[in-house]
Amino acid sequence: MREISKQFDFKEREDAIYKLWEGSSFFNPDNIKSTKKYCNVLPPPNANGELHLGHASGYTVMDIFGRFERMQGKKVLLLPGKDHAGIQTQVVFERKLKAEQGISRHEMGREKFYQACYDFCMDRSQYMRAQEKKIGISADWSREKFTLDPAGLKIALETFVQMYKDGLVYKGHRIINWCSRCGTALADVEVEHKEQAGKLYYIKYPVKDSKEFLTVATTRPETMLGDTAVAVNPKDKRFLSFIGQNLILPLQNREIPVIADRRIDMEFGTGAVKITPAHDPLDWQIGKDHKLEEISVIDEKAKITANGGEYEGFDVLGARAKIVVDLQTLGFLEKEESLANNVSVCERCKTVIEPLISNQWFVKVDDEKISLKKQALELIKSGKVEIYPENFKKILIQWFSNLQDWCISRQIWWGPQFPVWYREKSKVESRKSKVNGEQEIYVGLEKPKGDGWVQDENTFDTWFSSSQWPYSTLGYPNGKDAKNFYPTDAMITGRDLLFFWAARMLMMGSYRTDKTPFKNLYFTGLVRDKDGQKFSKSKGNGIDPMDIINKFGADALRLSLVMDIAPGQDSRLSEEKIEGFRNFVTKLWNIFRYCTQADENFALVEKISKKDLKTLSDNWIVCELEETTRNVTEFMKDKNISLAQDTLRKFTWDSFADWYVEIHKLEKNTKVLGYVLDKILKLWHPFTPFVTEEIYQQMFDGRKMLMMAQWPKNPKKCIDTKVQIDFADLQELIAKIRNIRSSYHIDPVNLIEGFGKKKIEKEIIERLARVKIETGKGVKAKMIQVATRKRALQLNIAKSIDMEKELISIDKEIVNLENLIAKNEGMLKNKNFVAGAPKEILEATKTRIGEYMDKLQIQKELKKNLKAI
């Protein structure tokens, strides 16, 4: 007999098992013979750090579905990759440069910086790849991609060129979000809003040729340097006489008009708003509509420009302080009020955003001819993409409906440059080139022929390329993978990337390929700590998934990340929880250990026939197995991992380990044991691939691989209700005896002698309830009766019975049953119920009443007998 340790030695075995899978080459779908396919292009993590629990959680879900589909006999492609993650990587790498070499990127120079950043990403990718393997993900590493790989990048840039031709991208002088630290424009979605205690300043603007003032309220007095109007609501009676008059802008001594605009809130501040078109998004809109001048007074370093007169060179906060003092000195400051207001900050570095006017590239999301947002909405509304959880549909629909043009140009160095070239108009003219003001512009993948062309220095928003990930990785349109696997089957991503990524993949996929990029869109929630806090480095509450794997094993980690969890809902993770799942893995291991020790001929059994089922227990466990298989398969198809696992766990631990295995010690039907374990291993494999594969390897001495085994067939007609009811009756009897044992504190040495009726599973009851049964008849003194619908015993317990206690408990049960019967009979008396309820429910109700009646009868008899003693 082989020696098997008491626990699965995951530390020793996980890497070896992974190598076995990898070496089998079945991660690569080309090596699987099948006509059915499943493809999940995995979301690329940012290649600038390490894996965190969020990644681990997503990967676990992806791998569970991937393995499930592979066991359905499909060619499964899980395509891994990494994202260059533009701004984030640049921020991380700049910090690293500063810390390690004490230099800035400017000191390094653009080209050198780019190369160093690239090397850094490659290094991190390698590290992260090793971590991904630790989690057990069955991805095809031979196809691994990086967003800057030339082939994929070419596809992404082609899309840009095509969009340019279609008029869906344009370069425009518009107000954008500017991060002065990163030195780049940002998309709206990359801006975070934080509530902050601020001040509202009331400033008096004198009316020209008058002694009157118009008071405006602002949180940013420094922007007044660029004011070109004051606006009031046309319905606001207080200001009717001011409209059309001119004001003298304090400090700048410029004349500015009072204009009327519906968008002004009469309730807020004084009802009069200073308009700074160059530094506020709404003001910019109003400025456009009223054809106001745009005066930039804040530059890209967040300093006051020459337009700011004597304040030139001050930073924003410095200028604000000085302006407030100056206004006060000159008597223009009416008052200050405290105010909680929203401050916009850079999503990546948390620097305050300066809205300013800049020349940037934009994606037109709602063009008349080709509306990207309408196309995406169509995918969602038509159900071409199924969304899990379903309510995220609503969120997406609402977001798309309000979507503004998307700024895609960044002034950072790390990322692909725009495929756009300019040259002075005076030089040679080309037919292909469009003339744009003083410059010629050429948009195309290659630098045009001729001299003097200079490439646009802008780099792409990282989401521009990653939003094309599902097809750029597959070599769209002509690549073999694109033809085989596109549209992909699944996209599984964190709900925090809903807008950044998921929404944009729908837009870009629909535009470029005319298809949905994926048929199913599944969101995971955030993993939080046991107190519900977000994991973060600054809080120091981070859990490294690798530490967990070392301590509890990858299977335990996987279970703890997906069990008891609903899609899109945040979840909490604690060590205690993981420990619980580690215990389950040990349980699974020990079931295997028992099997091999119980019978030296033990083997996993693929199929059995009815003849092999000898006893009630055999029939019952196979019945349960079939029901479990059917339910688990259905749950998996519904993408309900949590319920699938819950169902499986109940079957494995409660039904199989606690009942069937115990009974097997007596009945020894090893064939059934081998049959059920075989199925348990297969059903668990997607969730806990390591331990199940290890058991399978040991059972087959390496001749077969569980990863490639067939998922157990979903039986059509699988439930034998009679068997299930009968076994449940036996369980009930045993439970009742156990209950008595517990309440009378009967020592296990002091077995209860029971006098049983015939046809009772004597040995099973003796073993599981720890009683000694003598078949006989007659009720003796001190006897207590236990009975179920089908079985009855009299127990001759050593201690005297607490009559009162027994009677109370029986009476309680009688009342309970009577209530239930009354309730169910009430239902049957209700004409509406009889007319309205489906047949099965009606039948079930009737059956239930019968059961309750039987039980009631038993209780009444017990009571009678008890009193007779």
Distance CA 713, CA 321 (A): 75
The answer to whether the beta carbons of residues 658 and 603 sit under 8 Å apart is no
* Listed ranges 108-116, 537-545, 582-590, 757-765: which one lies at the site for RNA (CB under 7 A): 582-590
CB atoms within 10 A of CB 815: 11
Structure tokens at 514: 């005319």
| Residue in 215, 520, 586, 714 binding RNA, rule: CB under 7 A | 586
Among 386, 529, 599, 662, binds RNA (CB under 7 A): 662
Decide if residue 234 touches RNA (CB under 7 A): no
Task: Report the residue from 226, 269, 494, 509 that binds RNA according to the rule CB under 7 A.
Answer: 269
Separation of alpha carbons 490 and 202, rounded Å: 55
Does 865 bind RNA (CB under 7 A)? Our answer is: no
CA-CA distance, 612 to 801, in Å (whole number)?
44
Residues 720-749 touching RNA, rule: CB under 7 A, are: 735, 738-739, 741-743, 745, 747-748
Identify which of residues 31 and 739 has a Cβ nearer to RNA in the complex: 739
Per CB under 7 A, the list member of 569, 710, 775, 857 interacting with RNA is 569
List beta partners, residue 229.
275
* Stretch 664-723 residues interacting with RNA (CB under 7 A): 665
Strand partners, 493: 523
Binding flag, residue 243, RNA (CB under 7 A): no
Please list every residue from 497 through 536 that binds RNA, using CB under 7 A. 499, 530, 532
Q: What's the half-sphere exposure (Cβ side, CA atoms, 13 Å) at 299?
A: 12
Tell me the window of 95-103, 116-124, 190-198, 375-383 that interacts with RNA (CB under 7 A).
190-198
Closest distance of CB 827 from RNA, Å: 6
Asked if residue 848 binds RNA (CB under 7 A), the reply is: yes
Whether omega before 487 lies within 30 degrees of 0, making that bond cis, reads yes
Nearer to RNA, 430 or 640 (CB): 640
Only segment of 42-50, 106-114, 300-308, 823-831 that touches RNA (CB under 7 A): 823-831
- Residue in 148, 157, 182, 591 binding RNA, rule: CB under 7 A: 591
d(CA 316, CA 313): 9
Amino acid identity of residue 700, one-letter, is F
580 binds RNA, rule: CB under 7 A: yes
Other Cβ atoms less than 10 A from the Cβ of 670: the count is: 17
The verdict on 658 binding RNA (CB under 7 A) reads yes
Chain positions 627 to 656 lying near RNA, rule: CB under 7 A, are 631, 640, 642-643, 646, 649, 653
Cα–Cα distance measured from residue 691 to residue 671, given in angstroms and rounded to the nearest whole number? 22
What is the distance, to the nearest Å, from the Cα of residue 708 to the centroid of all Cα atoms in its chain? 27
State yes or no: residue 371 binds RNA (CB under 7 A).
Answer: no
Minimum separation from the CB atom of position 603 to RNA (A): 17
For the bound state, the minimum distance from the C-beta of residue 418 to RNA, rounded and expressed in Å, comes to 24
Taking CB under 7 A as the rule, does residue 760 contact RNA? no
Pinpoint the alpha helices (H) of 72-222: 86-101, 105-108, 110-135, 150-165
Stretch that binds RNA, among 249-257, 516-524, 600-608, 829-837 (CB under 7 A): 829-837
Binding RNA (rule: CB under 7 A), the pick from 24, 101, 398, 710 is 398
Count helices and strands in the chain by DSSP H and E runs? 27, 30
Cβ-based burial of 868 (10 A; exposed 0-12, middle 13-18, buried ≥19): exposed
**3-state secondary structure at position 442:** strand
| Residue from the set 815, 844, 853, 869 that interacts with RNA by CB under 7 A | 844
Nearer to RNA, 218 or 794 (CB): 218
Shorter beta-carbon distance to RNA: residue 191 or 705: 191
Over the window 192 to 231, marking each residue x when it contacts RNA by CB under 7 A and - when it does not, the resulting string is xx------x---------------xxxxx-----------
Residue 338 within binding range of RNA, rule CB under 7 A: no
CB closer to RNA, 58 vs 269: 269
Q: In whole angstroms, what is the distance from residue 222 CA to residue 295 CA?
A: 13
Separation of alpha carbons 151 and 155, rounded Å: 7
Name 314's Cβ contacts closer than 8 Å, sequence gap at least 6: 303, 304, 308, 322
